Amino acid sequence: MEEGQVARFFWTANGSFVNFDLHGDGGGQSISDEQGRAVPEASGDLTAAFTGNHGWVWRNRTEAPVTVTLRTGGDYSEMRAP
């Protein structure tokens, strides 16, 4: 994302919950915008603080498998999964 661009998002852990970190990195900069523990879902606007990669890491701390569904829209050039 370019600095100042905005992407709308909604994600859900589909009936379960996850820990998450919404963060960005690029050009020698990094930021952790928001973190959560045992969260079932979240929504809002992600505004790029600088040009670079911006997104989430989710961690399942339960014993059962969890599927995270992410819906986005707005200003970004690509979406990647590790």
pLDDT in tens, 13-46: 999 999 999 999 999 999 999 999 999 999 999 9
Please list, in sequence order, all residues whose beta carbon lies within 8 angstroms of the beta carbon of residue 46, skipping any fewer than 6 positions away: 1, 6, 7, 8, 9, 22, 33, 54, 74
Residues 6+ apart with CB under 8 A from 78: none
Given this model, what pLDDT does residue 81 score?
81
Per the listing, tokens 């911006």 go with 54
Instruction: Assign 61 a pLDDT band (cuts: 50, 70, 90).
Output: very high
Q: How confident is the model at residue 69 (pLDDT cuts 50, 70, 90)?
A: very high
**pTM for the full model?**
0.91
Note the pLDDT of residue 73.
96
Q: How many residues does the chain have?
A: 82
CB atoms within 10 A of CB 46: 22
